[in-house]
């Protein structure tokens, strides 16, 4: 008879983080990378970013922040669609692009407003004040609003097999159902 090897010890069961915590973590990484991209573009346009002593938009920091945020928005969409919310199908036929960019445009005044307040009310125009106001405080306010709005209006909750078989179990609006389920419901009526 062969001697059987002793069983390998099992690792203790570790509680997995709730899925929303993982999404928040990925969203924060995505937002951080998009903010870094926006930060680099903004500082190049307004302060030269150690590349030029004659920045292109030194006299127009609000315009520079809008341009930088548009660049960061593209970075954010790509990362959100293909990493952060990759398991969530988009709600809209265009992959959620229109809703994504609309939400970003609607929340952009948070960052622009904090930069305006810093510049025009507080009278601060140094690089540290600009970055704290527009790229830290404003970006964090916008990111909190966008997380909720993206999960609600751009990337829906995945549909389970049980919901596909029994569509009456679905708790979200019918316009968010997959086409096959909507067609089968119409056939029954």
Torsion-angle region of 49 (φ positive above 0: left; ψ -120 to 50: alpha; else: beta): left
Same domain, 148 and 173: no
How many residues can be counted in the chain?
Answer: 189
pLDDT in tens, 106-141: 999 999 999 999 999 999 999 999 999 998 999 899
168-189 burial: b if 16+ Cβ within 10 Å, else e: eebeeeeeebeeebeeeeeeee
- Enter the DSSP assignment of 48: -
Same domain, 189 and 125: no
Cβ neighbour number for residue 105 with a 10 Å cutoff: 13
Domain carrying residue 104: 19-158
- Of 11-20, 152-161, 180-189, highest mean pLDDT: 152-161
Same domain, 86 and 174: no
- Of 106-120, 144-158, 170-184, highest mean pLDDT: 106-120
Same domain, 145 and 167: no
Per DSSP, helices labelled H in the chain are 19-47, 61-79, 97-116, 127-130, 138-149, 161-165, 179-188
Q: Is residue 144 part of a domain?
A: yes
Q: Is residue 170 part of a domain?
A: yes
CA–CA separation, 164 and 181 (whole Å): 6
In this prediction, residues 57-73 reach a mean pLDDT of: 94
Into how many domains does the chain fold?
Answer: 2
Same domain, 45 and 120: yes
- pLDDT band at 2; cut points 50, 70, 90: low
């Amino acid at each position: 008879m062969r001697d059987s090897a002793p069983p390998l010890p099992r690792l203790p069961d570790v509680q997995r983080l709730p899925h929303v915590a993982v999404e928040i973590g990925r969203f924060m990484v995505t937002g951080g990378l998009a903010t870094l991209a926006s930060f680099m573009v903004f500082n190049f346009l307004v302060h030269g970013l150690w590349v030029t002593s004659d920045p292109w938009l030194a006299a127009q920091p609000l315009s520079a922040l809008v341009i930088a945020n548009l660049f960061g928005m593209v970075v954010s969409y790509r990362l959100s669609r293909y990493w952060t919310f990759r398991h969530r199908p988009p709600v809209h036929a265009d992959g959620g692009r229109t809703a994504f960019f609309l939400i970003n445009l609607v929340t952009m005044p948070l960052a622009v407003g904090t930069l305006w307040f810093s510049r025009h009310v507080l009278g601060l125009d140094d690089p540290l004040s600009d970055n704290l106001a527009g790229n830290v405080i404003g970006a964090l306010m916008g990111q909190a609003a966008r997380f909720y709005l993206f999960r609600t209006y751009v990337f829906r909750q995945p549909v389970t097999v049980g919901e596909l078989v029994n569509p009456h179990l679905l708790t979200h609006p019918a316009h968010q159902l997959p086409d096959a389920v909507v067609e089968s419901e119409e056939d029954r009526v």
